[in-house]
Amino acid sequence: MVVIMQLSRITVMLAAVLLSLMLASASAQNRLPEIGTTGASIMSIEKEQTFGDLYMRQVRATAPIAADPVLEEYLKDLGNRLVREADDVRFPFSFFWVNQDQINAFAFFGGYIGINTGLIAETRSESELASVIAHEVAHVSQRHLVRNMGSMQNSGPATIAAVIGSLLLSMVSPDLGMAAMSGTLAGVKQVGINYTRMYEQEADRIGLTMLARAGFDPQGAPDFFGRMAEKYRYASKMPAMLQTHPVSEARIADTRQRAEQMPRPLIRDESRYWLAKYRVQTRHLKQLNQAALTNAMANSNSDIANAGRYGLAILLLDQSQPEQALTTLAPLLRRDPMNAFYLDVQTDILLALKRYDEALAMLEKAYIREPNEQTITLNFANAALEAGKPDLSINLLRDYLSRDDDNVLAIDLIINAYRRKGDSSSMFEYQSRLYALHGGFDEAINSLHRAHKQSSTELEQRRLQARVEQLMEQKRQLEQLR
């Protein structure tokens, strides 16, 4: 089960809202205060979270986010394993995939970290992937973006806004960000570069410690960045990752020296990493054909061989060959019947074959064992919907959304479930939540008005009206900050 939120545009408007917020924040002071170690005097934790939430709404509206529950669950688990080993964590982290073949990863206000699908395709081990995520976690935990605002405290508010805006643009679209940066004052640009180098070194050191503590191979960091530096040494166009995270021979040598002083794990289970990588390369990036996957199945590394078989099952399913996909996946499912990667593809195969009862029975068994697992729950809800059981789908999704209320895929599913049930009021209410998560406050308010007209009880109408007023207040606060 997978949904790709398509890219519509990445322009300067992507950062416009945040720029206006920061401009207002800077204008409220005659002079920015002295910066502290964690940037607390520049921006409070609460305001940073507010900025992060707002920016994430803009990212959802513009970037090609891969709403793929099995990949989301893998990335969330991997990221949180690193966060647990981090110091100075002040808020929950959120990890998401951007479906672009560029090699890139970026972090912004409030603990949001985006990973391009092109990054996992380029890595050769889970430790390499984890090293990049640990680096981004370090940027967030040390509040580098906030602290960089303090380095420009002697510049005017407009200059601060311009530099921070170009940095934000660089996260998602490095070419646009670097072009925007060139429009700022040369002296301020140099200050920004110097601070970027300092922060990169700090993120290297902290990220490496985090990596080793979490049980990954610390050599993953110098291996990955060293290989990227060598691969693109003479390239006329650098990948996004190296544009926003410049590396040097000295920096790689320092990281490798530090890594050599740290313990290395003797054995690591990387089976889920290889399944995630082959899923990305087969379904999202379309990089692997049948010959490549068949060849992988013969690999002496059993994790790669299983991932090749798994990728082939995905390819056959996506080519409308569900019977062949069923046969291909069967050996994997027999050996590991509770593996969420396999259950996800098996569900889609059974639905394509219209074997709804089998799909529901399989997912009910898995759900009883793991009721909070995203992949199982969302596949169960989707299968129920396809089987003509919207009430079951709604019950599953309402319970899940009580724990993860901003899950876009779950909200989209429950909208469809209420539509099939004929409950227009509830459908419009959840539609409002979806609009709000994408920064569309006017559309969200209009949907709530439509839900209000369709509601049948006075109590329900009062609740919806309260929600309208809440959204209007959020919109007013945003406009005041602009």
Q: CATH number of the domain that 392 lies in?
A: 1.25.40.10
| Residues 237 and 301 grouped into a single domain | no
Binned at pLDDT 50, 70 and 90, residue 12 comes out as very low
| Residues 30 and 128 grouped into a single domain | yes
Q: What pLDDT score was predicted for residue 38?
A: 54
| Residues 230 and 320 grouped into a single domain | no
| Residues 371 and 433 grouped into a single domain | yes
pLDDT at 22 over 60: no
84 belongs to a structural domain: yes
* Strand-strand pairing, 94-98 and 112-116: parallel
| Residues 223 and 302 grouped into a single domain | no
| Element (DSSP H or E) covering residue 260 | helix 249-260
| Residues 417 and 302 grouped into a single domain | yes
Q: Which residue has the tokens 């490496």?
A: 208
Measured between alpha carbons, how far is 103 from 113 in angstroms, rounded to an integer? 14
pLDDT tens-digit profile of 41-61?
567 778 778 778 878 887 888
106 in helix, strand or coil?
A: strand
Considering the chain, what percentage of its residues have pLDDT values greater than 70?
77
Mean pLDDT of the region 381-406: 97
441 belongs to a structural domain: yes
Q: What pLDDT score was predicted for residue 58?
A: 79
Q: What pLDDT score was predicted for residue 42?
A: 65
| Residues 307 and 397 grouped into a single domain | yes
Binned at pLDDT 50, 70 and 90, residue 252 comes out as confident
- CA distances to 123, 215, 301 from 269, rounded to whole Å, are 16, 11, 12
**For residue 11, what are its two tokens?**
């322009």
pLDDT at 301 over 80: yes
Q: 246-265 b/e with 16+ CB inside 10 Å = b?
A: ebeeebbebbbebbeeeeee
Mean pLDDT of all residues belonging to the chain: 82
Poorest-pLDDT segment among 16-20, 205-209, 281-285: 16-20
Q: Which of 278, 264, 335, 280 is nearest to 309 (CA)?
A: 278
| Residues 217 and 278 grouped into a single domain | no
pLDDT at 236 over 70: no
pLDDT tens-digit profile of 73-115?
999 999 999 999 988 788 889 999 999 998 988 888 888 999 9
- In which domain, by residue range, is 367 found? 271-481
**For residue 44, what are its two tokens?**
């409070």
Beta-bridged to residue 108, according to DSSP, are 112
pLDDT at 173 over 60: no
Considering the chain, what percentage of its residues have pLDDT values greater than 90?
53
Judge contact between 211 and 137, C-beta under 8 A: no
266 belongs to a structural domain: no
Q: Is 449 known as a binding-site position?
A: no
**Final residue of a structural domain among 260, 294, 324:** 260
Poorest-pLDDT segment among 20-34, 188-202, 357-371: 20-34
Q: Which DSSP state fits 439?
A: T
**Final residue of a structural domain among 239, 260, 281:** 260
339 belongs to a structural domain: yes
| Residues 336 and 254 grouped into a single domain | no
Residue 219, judged by CB atoms within 10 A of its CB (0-12, 13-18, 19+), counts as buried
**For residue 181, what are its two tokens?**
């940066």
Q: Is 34 known as a binding-site position?
A: no
Q: Is 135 known as a binding-site position?
A: yes
Measured between alpha carbons, how far is 252 from 247 in angstroms, rounded to an integer? 7
265 belongs to a structural domain: no
| Residues 289 and 239 grouped into a single domain | no
Binned at pLDDT 50, 70 and 90, residue 123 comes out as very high
Q: Which DSSP state fits 32?
A: P
- Catalytically active residues, by annotation: 136, 204
Q: What pLDDT score was predicted for residue 480?
A: 59
Total tally of structural domains belonging to the chain: 2
Q: Tell whether the torsion through CA atoms of 31, 33, 35 and 38 is positive or negative.
A: negative
Q: Which of 266, 35, 273, 3 is nearest to 149 (CA)?
A: 35
Q: What pLDDT score was predicted for residue 271?
A: 97
Binned at pLDDT 50, 70 and 90, residue 139 comes out as confident
Mean pLDDT of the region 420-443: 93
pLDDT tens-digit profile of 193-222?
444 777 788 888 999 999 999 999 999 999
Mean pLDDT of the region 155-178: 48
Phi, psi (degrees; rounded to nearest 5) at 476 = -65, -40
Measured between alpha carbons, how far is 131 from 223 in angstroms, rounded to an integer? 10
pLDDT at 350 over 60: yes
Q: What pLDDT score was predicted for residue 381?
A: 98
Reported pTM? 0.84
Q: 289-301 b/e with 16+ CB inside 10 Å = b?
A: eeebbeebbeeee
Judge contact between 278 and 288, C-beta under 8 A: yes
Mean pLDDT of the region 327-340: 97
Ramachandran area for residue 292 (φ above 0: left; ψ -120 to 50: alpha; else beta): alpha
| Residues 112 and 225 grouped into a single domain | yes
| Residues 163 and 293 grouped into a single domain | no
**Final residue of a structural domain among 215, 237, 260:** 260
